[in-house]
Chains A and B, each alone.
Chain A
Amino acid sequence: MDELIIAGEKFTSRLIMGTGGAPSLEVLDQALAASGTELTTVAMRRLDPGARGSVLDVLRKRDIKVLPNTAGCFTAGEAVLTARLAREALGTNWVKLEVIADERTLLPDPIETFDAAERLVADGFVVLPYIGDDPALARRLEQAGCAAVMPLGAPIGSGLGIRNPHNIELIVEAASVPVVLDAGIGTASDAALAMELGCDAVLLATAVTRAQRPDLMAEAMKGAVTAGRQARLAGRIPRRRYAEASSPMTP
């Protein structure tokens, strides 16, 4: 059985879903079901007394493990507090650590992220940090005790795919914790490429939730992640400059 293992916990699906951007909880529910995901992120926000229904109910009904994130945090201090509140509210010590540098690019701030990661690891959290495609930072976060590293393919919500596949390969080569390609996925081939490059899982939201048919795109992503993983395990043929005949050349 080819399972994804994060911090000792096993997952059959290698597709981690986000929940942002879905037009309704019903659409989200259908997309999550079609994706086959077993681990899905949620954000922490001020309680709105007027809100109807909860994303938590959707996840609970589908038996999907909840992964709280620290989206919206700009400093290590904010992220640590948000993670502690999520642990209290949701009863999980897992956290997707996300500390953003600015609102225009939404790129992760490496200094604040590293600071928060050290503090959260010390506080007993299973820390999954969202980072740029930086092999040096990925290695430092692994050494700091993170349970996985989650480099971006491209900026959040951009759908630009994997802009620097070489760096993703370098991160994969050096890592002994799972590498999750997070952010930038636009369509199924991007998810397949992430897995072919050797990533252990893919995390995506917008590509599905803002697709014209979210449930169909979720199913496509499920297939792409599986196909990419199989291709990685199968071992692709080397690229050649010229043709190599697949039939005997002599009669």
Chain B
Amino acid sequence: MIVTINGAAHEVADGTTVAQAVRTLTAATTGVAVAVNDEVVTRSSWETTALSDRDRVEVLTAVQGG
């Protein structure tokens, strides 16, 4: 299936979790937050939340600004 991670399309195996999607970008688990299709997925649910085809995953962190 195809999922979008921070705007880039990725071919991933069925059953891929949010945690696995995050690990394609970073090993960090603190200072990072995830939304799937504009809904926040809390960190405690990353391992148990499976992605679906065409899901949009956004992985955000704090940067300089404001």
Check B63 against A88 for contact (C-beta < 8 Å). no
CA distance A220 to B35 in the complex (A): 41
Check A42 against B60 for contact (C-beta < 8 Å). no
Which residues 36-50 of B sit at the A interface, judged by CB distance below 8 A?
Answer: 38, 40, 42-43
Number of B residues near A (Cβ < 8 Å) is 22
Which residues 83-100 of A sit at the B interface, judged by CB distance below 8 A?
Answer: 84-90, 96, 98
| Residues A19 and B61 in contact in the complex (CB < 8 Å), given A47-B32, A85-B35, A88-B40 | no
Name which of A1-9, A66-74, A229-237 contacts chain B.
Answer: A66-74
The interface residues of chain B lying within 8 Å CB-to-CB of A205 are 66
The interface residues of chain B lying within 8 Å CB-to-CB of A19 are 64-66
Check B65 against A41 for contact (C-beta < 8 Å). yes
Complex interface bits, B6-49 against A, C-beta within 8 A gives 1, otherwise 0: 11000000000000000001100001111100101011000000
- Grouping DSSP codes into helix (H, G, I), strand (E, B) and loop, the A interface class, with mixed when no group exceeds half, is mixed
| Residues A54 and B61 in contact in the complex (CB < 8 Å), given A47-B25, A49-B25, A85-B33 | yes
Task: Report if A104 contacts B (CB, 8 A).
Answer: no
| Contact size range, A | 35 or more
The interface residues of chain B lying within 8 Å CB-to-CB of A55 are 62-64
Tell which of A47, A51, A86 has the most Cβ of chain B within 10 Å. Answer: A47
Check A18 against B65 for contact (C-beta < 8 Å). yes
The interface residues of chain B lying within 8 Å CB-to-CB of A54 are 31, 61-62
Neighbour of B64 across the interface among A20, A46, A96, CB < 8 A: A20
Check A42 against B66 for contact (C-beta < 8 Å). yes
| Residues A45 and B66 in contact in the complex (CB < 8 Å), given A85-B35, A88-B40 | no
Task: Report if A144 contacts B (CB, 8 A).
Answer: no
**Contact surface of A with B, Cβ cutoff 8 Å:** 18-22, 25, 28, 41-47, 49, 51, 54-56, 66, 68-69, 71-72, 77, 81, 84-90, 96, 98, 205
**Contact surface of B with A, Cβ cutoff 8 Å:** 6-7, 25-26, 31-35, 38, 40, 42-43, 58-66
